[in-house]
Chains A and B, each alone.
Chain A
Amino acid sequence: MIAAATFAGEARVGLEAEVSQLRRGDLDALSVLLARYQNRLYRYLLRLVRDSADADDLFQATWIRVAEQIRKYDPSRNFDAWLFTLARHLAIDHLRRRRPESLDEPPAHDPQGATPADRLPSAERPALEGIIDREKGSRLTECVVELPVIYREVLSLRFEEEMKLEDIAVVLDAPLSTVKTRLRRGLESLRQNLEARYPGERWL
């Protein structure tokens, strides 16, 4: 635990040094930062736009934007949140141009006016324990992809990036309460999708 905390602390100090080097125009720092964030940033973009060719373009555009804007970055702010905000702006602009996919909050999903009691696990629901194997992981991926973008992104930021809620609020430029609502609705919609797609099955 202490070792993990120390490691996290060292990583943060390393990151601060890299970012300040980049702010001074050090190109080596750019390579180091790219190596540090490439997988996370690409994953986030892919979760947002779903298409790998688009994610490729946005990945490049994000790093160009980083190079252009790094001098405007305020070092007292969280760098992850800053970087993901840049990426998000580009991705959202792209989605607006490409697809008329709604970026607004969808109405709370309650099929056929189901009451909260109907949403409870029934006696017939299969047990959910079990190892998450590759096939079932891809089932989950399929269902995540079907979610509206505002849920995809919040789930990705929380569970894959393991971002704090406060940082997610910065990235989404939304109040904390909105982040929580989206998280809850995102998980609930995901569960509904899985149940609809694999009824009566052990979907995870």
Chain B
Amino acid sequence: MSNCDQIRDLLALAASGALDAKSEERVAAHVRTCSVCAAELDSFQLLARGLRRLPTPQPSAMLVERARARAELSMAEETEQRSNRKVLILLIGFAWTLVVVSWPIVRLLSGGIETWVSTRLPQSWYAFAGFTGLGWLAAGAAAIVLAWHNRRERETT
């Protein structure tokens, strides 16, 4: 491969400003002595200049306005969904606290302090705990399925 052939592969990149300093120096040194490659480099530089100055098409004002309106809408939806999620988490937390706190209070009021401190838990307590646990498990599973479904729906639109 002659020197010209090696340099010629670099000329388009040289005109694109895409060479490292060493290769650029190699090209510069070569074109100083080779008029054929110098002309080739010139033609690529001319193309590069032409590409930089191509007329820039502009979007119409109406299009920009429409894009802004629709993006704002989807931004607002996104924000609303986020705040909805926060409210939901708060509500769930509140419900949990309520359940956990209310049971001892109910026991305290209905049976007095004795049943509350007694180590033998009545059967109704197990029933209550079982039902509550099952309810929460079902609700949790439903929430996960719903969230997954929502996400898929958003991704496809």
By the criterion CB–CB under 8 Å, are B15 and A63 in contact?
Answer: no
A144 within 8 A of B: yes
By the criterion CB–CB under 8 Å, are B54 and A183 in contact?
Answer: no
Given A121-B39, A128-B43, A137-B50, verify A39-B68 contact (CB < 8 Å): no
- The prevalent SS among residues of B at the interface is helix
Min Cβ gap B46→A in Å is 5
Residues of B within 8 A of A129 (CB): 42, 46
Min Cβ gap B157→A in Å is 10
- The prevalent SS among residues of A at the interface is helix
Q: Which of B42, B55, B76, B78 has a CB less than 8 Å from the CB of A128?
A: B42
By the criterion CB–CB under 8 Å, are B74 and A68 in contact?
Answer: yes
Report the Cα distance A184→B40, complex, angstroms.
13
Choose, from B57-65, B88-96, B117-125, the stretch at the interface: B57-65
Q: Which of A42, A125, A155 has a CB less than 8 Å from the CB of B58?
A: A42
By the criterion CB–CB under 8 Å, are A191 and B44 in contact?
Answer: yes
Report the Cα distance A52→B16, complex, angstroms.
28
A107 within 8 A of B: no
Select from chain B the residue with minimum beta-carbon distance to A162. Answer: B52
By the criterion CB–CB under 8 Å, are B74 and A64 in contact?
Answer: yes
Count how many chain B residues have C-beta atoms less than 8 Å from C-beta atoms of the other chain.
43
Choose, from B5-13, B97-105, B128-136, B137-145, the stretch at the interface: B5-13
A150 within 8 A of B: no
Report the Cα distance A58→B154, complex, angstroms.
18
Q: Which of A59, A137, A138, A187 has a CB less than 8 Å from the CB of B44?
A: A187
A25 within 8 A of B: yes
Chain B residues near A (Cβ < 8 Å): 4-5, 8-9, 12-13, 15-16, 18, 36, 39-40, 42-44, 46-59, 63-64, 66-68, 70-72, 74-76, 78-79, 154
- List 13 A-B pairs, Cβ < 8 Å: A27-B75, A34-B64, A34-B67, A34-B68, A35-B64, A38-B58, A60-B67, A63-B67, A129-B46, A138-B55, A159-B16, A159-B52, A160-B54
Chain A residues near B (Cβ < 8 Å): 25, 27, 30-31, 34-35, 38-39, 42-43, 46, 52, 55-56, 59-60, 62-64, 66-68, 71, 116, 119-121, 125, 128-129, 132, 134, 136-138, 140-141, 144, 155, 158-160, 162, 165, 180, 183-184, 187-188, 190-191, 194, 204
